[in-house]
Amino acid sequence: MTKLSVNINKIATLRNARGGNNPDVVKVALDCEKFGAEGITVHPRPDERHIRRSDVYDLRPLLSTEFNIEGYPSKEFIDLVLKVKPHQVTLVPDAPDQITSNAGWDTKTNLSFLSELMDTFGGAGIRTSIFVGTDIELIEYAAKAGADRVELYTEPYATLYPTNPEAAIAPFVEAAKAVRSLGMGLNAGHDLSLVNLKYMHDNIPWLDEVSIGHALISDALYLGLEKTIEEYKNCLR
- The confidence score (pLDDT) of residue 103 equals 77
Is pTM beyond 0.75? Reply is: yes
DSSP code string of 78-125: HHHHHHH--SEEEE----TT-SS------TTTTHHHHHHHHHHHHHTT
Average of pLDDT values for 114-133?
Answer: 98
pLDDT score of 229 more than 80: yes
Give the pLDDT mean for 170-178: 98
For residue 114, what pLDDT is reported? 98
Q: Is the pLDDT of residue 99 over 60?
A: no
Residue type, 1: M
- Residue 147: what pLDDT? 98
Q: Is the pLDDT of residue 100 over 80?
A: no
Active-site residue, from 50, 66, 190, 209: 190
Distance CA 236, CA 34 (A): 18
Q: How many CB atoms sit inside 10 A of residue 125's CB?
A: 8
Domain CATH code at residue 90:
3.20.20.70
Determine the pLDDT at residue 124: 98
201 catalytic per annotation? no
Choice among 33, 66, 70, 151 that is catalytic: 70
Over 80: is that where the pLDDT of 94 sits?
no
Domain count for the chain, please give it: 1
Question: Per the residue annotation, which of 43, 151, 201, 209 is the catalytic one?
Answer: 43
Whether residue 210 is predicted with pLDDT greater than 80 in this model: the reply is yes
Q: Among residues 27, 17, 21, 72, which one has the least CA distance to residue 8? A: 27
Q: Percent of the chain at pLDDT above 70?
A: 97
Q: Which domain holds residue 46?
A: 3-235
CB 96 within 8 A of CB 45: yes
Q: ∠ at Cα 156 (219, 186), nearest 5°?
A: 80
Q: Is 50 a catalytic residue?
A: no
The predicted model gives 92-114 an average pLDDT of: 82
